[in-house]
Amino acid sequence: MSRLLIGIVLSAVLVLSGCGGTTSSSSSSADNPVTDSTTVVDTKTASDLSQIPTYSGDPYVALNGNKPNFSDSDLTTKSYEHYSDLDSLGRCGTAMACIGKDTMPKSGEKRGSISEVKPTGWHNARYDFVDGKMVYNRCHLIAHELTDENANEKNLITGTRSMNVDGMLPFENMVADYIKETGNHVIYRVTPIFQGNELVARGVQMEGESVEDKGDGVLFNVYCYNVEPGVTIDYATGYTRADGTGGTTSSSSSSSAASTASSSSQDETVQTYVINKRNKKFHKPDCSGVAHMSEANKQTVNAKRSDLINQGYSPCGICKP
Specify if 22 maps to a domain: no
Of 52-61, 124-133, 165-174, 256-265, which range is least confident? 256-265
Q: Which ranges in the chain belong to alpha helices (H)?
A: 6-9, 144-147, 161-162, 169-182, 249-267, 305-310
Q: What is the domain count for the chain?
A: 2
Residue 14 has pLDDT above 50, yes or no: no
Confidence of residue 260 (pLDDT cuts 50, 70, 90): very low
Specify if 90 maps to a domain: yes
Residue 122 lies in domain: 40-106+116-242
- 180 and 46 co-located in one domain: yes
- 182 and 306 co-located in one domain: no
d(CA 211, CA 295): 23
Contact yes or no for 129/246 (Cβ under 8 A):
yes
- 79 and 222 co-located in one domain: yes
- 54 and 173 co-located in one domain: yes
Residue 311 has pLDDT above 70, yes or no: yes
**Which domain CATH number covers 156?**
3.40.570.10
Mean pLDDT of the chain: 84
- 202 and 308 co-located in one domain: no
Tell me whether strands 240-242 and 219-225 are parallel, antiparallel or unpaired. unpaired
d(CA 225, CA 143): 17
Once rounded to an integer, what is the mean pLDDT over residues 17-27?
35
- 227 and 281 co-located in one domain: no
Specify if 65 maps to a domain: yes
**Model pLDDT for residues 146-160, shown as the tens digit of each residue:** 999 999 999 999 999
**C-beta atoms surrounding 34 within 10 Å:** 26
**Model pLDDT for residues 43-98, shown as the tens digit of each residue:** 999 999 999 999 999 999 999 999 999 999 999 999 999 999 999 999 999 999 99
Of 17-26, 40-49, 167-176, 238-247, which range is least confident? 17-26
- 274 and 214 co-located in one domain: no
Confidence of residue 257 (pLDDT cuts 50, 70, 90): very low
- 135 and 232 co-located in one domain: yes
Name the amino acid, one letter, at 70. F
Confidence of residue 313 (pLDDT cuts 50, 70, 90): confident
Which of 41, 285, 25 shows the shortest CA–CA distance to 174? 25
pLDDT value for 289: 66
pTM of this prediction exceeds 0.75? no
Specify if 27 maps to a domain: no
What percentage of the chain has pLDDT greater than the value 90? 63
Tell me whether strands 219-225 and 95-99 are parallel, antiparallel or unpaired. unpaired
Which of 36, 33, 55, 92 shows the shortest CA–CA distance to 283? 33
Of 17-26, 94-103, 227-236, 304-313, which range is least confident? 17-26
What percentage of the chain has pLDDT greater than the value 70? 81
Could you tell me what percentage of the chain is helix, strand and coil, using 3-state DSSP and rounding each to the nearest 5?
25, 25, 50
- 91 and 171 co-located in one domain: yes
